[in-house]
Amino acid sequence: MIIDLHTHTLPWSDDSQLYPVDLIDHAKQAGLDGICLTEHDWFWETSRVAELSQEHDFLILPGVEINTEEGHLLVFGLEKYVFGMHHAAVVRQLVDEVGGAIILAHPHRRQFPSYGSDESDYYPALERACNNPVFELVDGVEVLNGRASPEKNAFSLELSRKSSSRGCGGSDAHGASDLGSAATLFQRQISCLEDLITELKAGRFTAVSLRQGL
């Protein structure tokens, strides 16, 4: 199954240009088998996600993108925000309590050498990024982000390899053109959130590029 683990919709992610129905329609057209709704620090009600999934006859699963001091985390299994979740270690503890899973989103952010940097800056930046303790707290790393450049995705892939983290993909959709870019291929059938978490924790997934140039 091919599932987009990283999407955003209006009005809960105010930087998105997609309403849920638009996102679902474009995801279907892109040939995806399912999507995860991961708004910025906002939790969907599981019952509403289930209704959307049934209404559109399409796999839709709830998640959230949590902004922590160590990076952005795609979190599956939690249902509400708790004070202290700006620390990745706190998120990991809460996720473990409910048996959930965590993916590190776009790890190149604030780590990739800035435009105009000398080539010699690349590997020191890579080493600095690898020292982030967040890699020890996640179940996987987003190595293909649909809104990132090939160079930044390559940087994320190197981070995944150096930290021995399993790589996945997501479109990070904020607009229609983002859908059908990067996603995650799962080896086994997924029909609910529990299945998704099981497969993420088991590492039975790989990043897939659905668009040339990623």
> pLDDT tens digits, residue range 133-189?
999 999 999 999 999 999 999 999 999 999 999 999 999 999 999 999 999 999 999
Total domains present in the chain:
1
Q: Do the domain assignments include residue 28?
A: yes
CATH, residue 104: 3.20.20.140
The reported pTM is 0.95
- Predicted confidence band at 213 (pLDDT cuts at 50, 70, 90)? very low
Q: Do the domain assignments include residue 214?
A: no
Mean pLDDT of 5-32: 96
pLDDT in tens, 45-102: 999 999 999 999 999 999 999 999 999 999 999 999 999 999 999 999 999 999 999 9
Q: Do the domain assignments include residue 49?
A: yes
Please, are residues 199 and 187 in contact by the beta-carbon 8 Å criterion?
yes
Please, are residues 146 and 170 in contact by the beta-carbon 8 Å criterion?
yes
Please, are residues 168 and 142 in contact by the beta-carbon 8 Å criterion?
yes
Q: Give the domain extent around 28.
A: 2-209
Give the pLDDT confidence score for residue 209 in this predicted structure. Answer: 87
